[in-house]
Amino acid sequence: ILLMGQRSGRQERSKKPQLALSETMEAETEVRNNKEEAEEVKAKNQRLASVFGVADLKNEAVGLYNLGQTCCLNSLLQVFLMNIHFTGILRRITVPQSAAQQKNSVPYQMLLLLEKMQRGKRKAVGPTELAYCLAQHRVRFFVQHDAAQLFLTLWNLLKKQMKRPELVEELKNLYTICIQEHLACQNCSFEMKSKSTMLTLPLPVLDADSHWLKSLEDCVQHFFLPEELTGPNMCFCQKCGRKTPFLQSMKLVHLPQTLTLHLQRFNFERSSRTYKLSHYLSFPQHLDFREVLPENQCQADASEKATWQYELFAVVAHSGSTSCGHYCAYVRSLTEHKWYCFNDSMVCPVSWDDVKCTYGHPRLNWYANGSLFLPNAALDFGMRAVRSGKTNGFG
């Protein structure tokens, strides 16, 4: 209104204000366009950062929908993706160039699933694209998988498809255990030594006399006990020139930042019958291998042993029998320091007493805890990892 009054009072100066008004409107339009463009670029960068970079998981824990007996896969994915050391490696992968390569890449599809879980406030998301990708690599669904075997399959696919050598090396360092095996002839002084690596430490839950072991510490100690190889198990001695009794022993050389322990609950008999060992077996929240293993079963210096202190990060538990059952995961958030139970799409905070339900029980029943069913079942497979100060993690 003010501009209209000035223009009608001074006709001789009408062109300059009109030109100034036009220039002002163009300037405002340009500023607005630049602002919108800047906001669009910022939003795009934030989307990329959520995938490749920067912010950690700050939203509530997110579940994964069951696509058809994918509870085992869902449980393992939750443990992988809740491990900030693993996701730190995952976020630095080289993105495949073509759409076909992207669909076939397990690391890339796992990265997209992580981004999908972090985007928005959904309680659960579907791992459909990753499941399709795994199917291309002959990972079958609508069958009950063994968690330890599926974990090994996923890890090998990740290691194979990560193109950057330094990331492959970081992945190995994060999970790989190093053992030195000794074979000593009992008739002479001949001895063989060899180092080997493994992804999980397969712990027996029965001793040599088929008695139940009562704790995780007992299982670790029994795994490293020397064993006499006699009868049909004798080995050929190069010095004696024939098969002789040997003493087999193992020494611990190196433990990774993420230590994976596998309780061998599935027992195989000579009659080809497989059954599950569901007896009670406790495990601690903190584990120091220096206190569990004697000095003669370790092959490491003091600096290496100083890192052998662990805290529990995750438990993958199985409820049911060898032919059918259900998996869920108990994971401790490394940012919130709280325990969660991931039961496919259902997620809820739990206490340490709830986690101890996975100690096992002869009766494989379930009990209700609010709207979530927690398994009163045996620990079948655990994996964990995180360094808290100087403390690693195990599971």
Q: How confident is the model over 358-386, as a mean pLDDT?
A: 41
Closest of 324, 322, 297 to residue 308, by C-alpha: 297
pLDDT tens for 48-57 read 333 333 334 4
pLDDT tens for 329-353 read 999 988 888 999 999 999 999 999 9
Q: What is the DSSP string of 79-147?
A: HHHT-HHHHHHHTTSPPPSSHHHHHH-HHHHHHHHHHHHHSTT-SEE--HHHHHHHHHTT---SSPPPH
CATH code of the domain made up of 62-394: 3.90.70.10
User: For the CA atoms of the chain, what is the radius of gyration?
Assistant: 29
Q: What percent of the chain has pLDDT over 90?
A: 49
Q: Give the pair of three-digit tokens for residue 373.
A: 């069913």
Q: Is 44 exposed, middle or buried (0-12, 13-18, 19+ CB in 10 A)?
A: exposed
Q: What is the pTM of this model?
A: 0.76
Q: How confident is the model over 42-62, as a mean pLDDT?
A: 48
Average the pLDDT over each of 17-31, 98-112, 123-137, 364-378 and give the range with the smallest value. Answer: 364-378
- Asked if pLDDT for residue 3 goes beyond 90, the answer is no
Domain definitions of the chain by residue range? 62-394
Distance, CA of 305 to CA of 298 (rounded, Å): 9
Print burial letters for 171-205: b (CB count within 10 Å at least 16), e (below 16). beebbbbbbbebbbbeeeebeeeeeeeebbbebbb
Beta bridge partners of 249: 182
E-assigned strands of 226-377?
Answer: 227-229, 235-237, 242-244, 246-254, 258-264, 266-268, 274-276, 286-288, 309-312, 314-320, 325-332, 339-343, 346-350, 366-369, 372-375
pLDDT tens for 276-313 read 777 888 999 999 999 999 988 998 999 999 999 999 99
**Who wins on pLDDT, 295 or 323?**
295
Cα 210 from chain centre: 31
Distance, CA of 109 to CA of 258 (rounded, Å): 22
Residue 245's identity, in one-letter code, is P
- The owner of tokens 């939003």 is 43
pLDDT tens for 244-280 read 999 999 999 999 999 999 988 876 665 567 777 778 8
Distance, CA of 73 to CA of 388 (rounded, Å): 27
- The owner of tokens 């972090």 is 118
pLDDT tens for 107-162 read 999 999 999 998 877 899 999 999 999 999 999 887 778 888 899 999 999 999 99
The residues carrying an active-site annotation are 71, 326
Q: What percent of the chain has pLDDT over 70?
A: 73
Q: Give the pLDDT score at 115.
A: 92
